[in-house]
Amino acid sequence: MGKLHELSALGQSVWFDYIRRSATRGGELASLVASGVRGVTSNPAIFEKAIAGSDDYDEAIAALAAEGLAPQAVFERLAIVDIREAADVLRPVYDQSDGADGFVSLEVSPTLADDSQATQEQARALFDAVGRPNVMIKIPGTPAGVPAIEASIAAGININVTLLFSLAQYQRVADAYVAGLERLTAGGGDPSRVASVASFFVSRVDTMVDDKLPAESELRGRIAIDNARLAYERCTEVFSGERWDALAAKGARLQRPLWASTGTKNEAYLDTLYVDELIGADTVNTVPPATLDAFIDHGSVADRVGHDLDGAHRRFAELPAAGIAFDEVAERLQRDGVDLFVAAFESLLKSLSEKSAALVG
């Protein structure tokens, strides 16, 4: 049994943080699914590399540009085809898991991160356009994103909540998920056909916190994993008790924590650190290609996500004395994350505009 299947046996699903048309059509994704990959995630930066950095899409871009479509419309048409085809590859996983896994994620435009109504409308439009039950629409867990998350869940749309960095952000998102399910069931909807994950970004936390700590601090390289473990602990608290039990009795699914940004950015840390230390039941880890290869080669499989919670609480309690207000760090990371995705999205549209002009010309 390969390592990814071992993770599945422990209750963790590995999703592949990468998409490219040639990989889907050429059989690479199908091979990964056979090896144990159980989902795919995408974001504006991934699509920028795939579309602008290859000629895989040139023929399709030329055809769409010839129709007179604007760059954003061209991108949406390209992305919808990619997501639909990847979802078809993963459909057996979705069916075999009775809708628990086998998802492919597509993000709403990051430029809408502060517009609840527009985010909600685009989530609906993208979900309908892909037309597959195993698509998840990514919505950032920003203050404006939270109402759109609740409304989308209430409308029966699978949601991958992205750009979470703190327990405060997560609590708002988890509450929105539960409230959305309650609205769905009140309207006669079936909660068993709706799935959601809450994506905690991991390595970016260590990058920012480490930069604020002295070189000799014992907190360096610890806070990102501690933060994820505390989120896992909070998850077990949110999804228990009478309110959740009433939804679970109707078939509602746990909103699983998803560990994102799990590629190690500090070369002093083990390249599988954010996979090895966050393995546990009812979780997802979405890994980029290099991290997936590293984990399969030399990763360590053991249930660790619930380990050393007392230590995690203690180290978080020590942050203020070290001059770090973690909630402020998390808000900064979330805003920076939105800005990075906006920059990637705008760069992608610029590349599409240039490619369209060149190809049509």
Q: Which residues are catalytic?
A: 138
Q: DSSP letters along 84-96, please?
A: HHHHHHHHHHHHH
Q: At what angle do helices 326-360 and 203-212 cross, to 10 degrees?
A: 120
Quick count: other Cβ atoms within 10 Å of Cβ 296? 16
The alpha carbon dihedral of 73, 164, 187, 250 has a sign of positive
Phi, psi values for residue 163, rounded to 5° = 60, 55
The contacts of residue 200 (CB under 8 Å, 6+ apart) are 164, 165, 170, 227, 228, 231, 257, 258, 259, 260
- Host H or E run for residue 40: strand 39-41
Cα separation, 342 vs 177, in Å, equals 25
Residue 260, beta-bridge partner list? 201
- How far does Cα 108 stand from its chain's mean position? 12
Cα separation, 284 vs 57, in Å, equals 30
Quick count: other Cβ atoms within 10 Å of Cβ 218? 9
